[in-house]
């Protein structure tokens, strides 16, 4: 038998419950942290896309104004 198996057999029901809930809590915190980081990354990418879109709009307006100027 492995040391972990022997440890779990000697652990009381209370200890097993606490370790189980502790593992679930750890997984929950880990998933929450990963989700938060992914959301922050997505937010920064969205801001970059918004900036590029705004620059594209300004360039398009400048090209239109240049065309209008040359046609006069």
Model confidence pLDDT, tens digit, residues 3-61: 988 888 888 999 999 999 999 999 999 999 999 999 999 999 999 999 999 999 999 99
Q: What letter would DSSP give residue 67?
A: H
Q: For position 72, what pLDDT does the model report? A: 77
Q: For position 18, what pLDDT does the model report? A: 93
Q: Which domain holds residue 57?
A: 24-72
Q: What letter would DSSP give residue 59?
A: H
**39/31 Cα distance (integer angstroms):** 12
Q: For position 5, what pLDDT does the model report? A: 87
Report how many domains make up the chain. Answer: 1
Contact 11, 19 (CB under 8 A): yes
Half-sphere exposure of 23 (CA within 13 A, CB side): 5
Residue 3 lies in a domain: no
Residue 15 lies in a domain: no
Q: For position 59, what pLDDT does the model report? A: 96
Question: 3-class DSSP state for residue 11?
Answer: coil
71 band by pLDDT with thresholds 50, 70 and 90:
confident
């Amino acid at each position: 038998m492995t040391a972990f198996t022997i440890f779990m057999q000697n652990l009381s029901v209370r200890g097993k419950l606490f370790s189980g809930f502790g593992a679930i809590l750890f997984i929950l915190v880990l998933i929450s942290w990963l989700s938060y980081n992914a959301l922050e990354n997505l937010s920064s990418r969205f801001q970059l896309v918004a900036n590029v879109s705004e620059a594209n709009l300004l360039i398009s307006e400048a090209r239109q104004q240049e065309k209008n100027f040359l046609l006069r």
